[in-house]
Amino acid sequence: MKRTPRVALVSLAASLSGCGAFYAEAEQPQACITVPPQTFTLPTGGLVVAPAGGFQGTFSGQVDLGINDALPDFLVNGSPDNHILRFLSMEASITSSSSAANFNWLEELSLTVTNGVTSDQLAYYGGGMTSGSRVLKIGPLNAANNLVTFLQNGNMVLHLEGSVAIPGGAQIPSSWTASVQGCFYAKVKKTFQEMVDGTK
């Protein structure tokens, strides 16, 4: 294959960008990142029965997502003026031999992201899970969110917090495994001049 000299390509791109009307765009409609499954085990080693009055409590945690594991650097590294990263959904699933391991007791779940200065609530679940369901999927509160400013070295930390209500007499499984998957949309738009200059 005959090669075109790099200097000729650069000159052509520079001349095309002079009028400011030529852009290069790249888009990834959906990219999903699955966090390695985590297993939770009760110290009792067996089924526990909730007390007669039931049990209510809160929980919190975080999921560290490596966005660059699923998306090229040029799509997500740069200014939010020409880079878009949108949260599409989060899906959690439970694996356990016990039928008692499900999301029935989940009353509330909030998903937020922060960069240490500002934060954004991405999704919220307010209960109503179908009996025996082991899969929970929640979508964005704002479909036009742009999360580029929340990326740090290609990573994004999602913070989860919520509450549970376990009815009296309910069996609590001795162990269960949970998996979490986050899905995102990405798009970048650059002028030819920005590509020539190597700017973000």
What pLDDT score was predicted for residue 13? 47
What pLDDT score was predicted for residue 2? 40
Q: Range of 71's domain?
A: 27-188
**Helix, strand or coil for residue 162?**
strand
Instruction: Decide if 140 contacts 88 (C-beta within 8 A).
Output: yes
Task: For 88-132, write each residue's pLDDT tens digit.
Answer: 999 999 988 788 888 988 999 999 998 888 899 999 999 888 888
Q: How many helices (H) and strands (E) does the chain have?
A: 3, 10
What pLDDT score was predicted for residue 195? 59
> What domain count does the chain have?
1
| Inside any domain, residue 89 | yes
Whether this model's pTM surpasses 0.75: yes
The CA–CA distances, whole Å, from 113 to 20, 160, 173, 181, 188 equal 35, 9, 30, 15, 21
What pLDDT score was predicted for residue 11? 45
What pLDDT score was predicted for residue 138? 95
What pLDDT score was predicted for residue 50? 85
What pLDDT score was predicted for residue 200? 56
What pLDDT score was predicted for residue 182? 92
| Inside any domain, residue 57 | yes
| Inside any domain, residue 5 | no
| Inside any domain, residue 99 | yes
The 8-class DSSP code of residue 68 comes to G
| Inside any domain, residue 15 | no
Which parts of the chain sit beneath pLDDT 70?
1-22, 43-47, 191-200
Per-position DSSP letters for 94-109, written without gaps between them: EE-SSTT-SSTTEEEE
HSE of 36, CA atoms in CB hemisphere, 13 A: 1
**Residue whose structure tokens are 């929340």:** 150
**CATH number assigned to the domain comprising residue 69:** 2.60.120
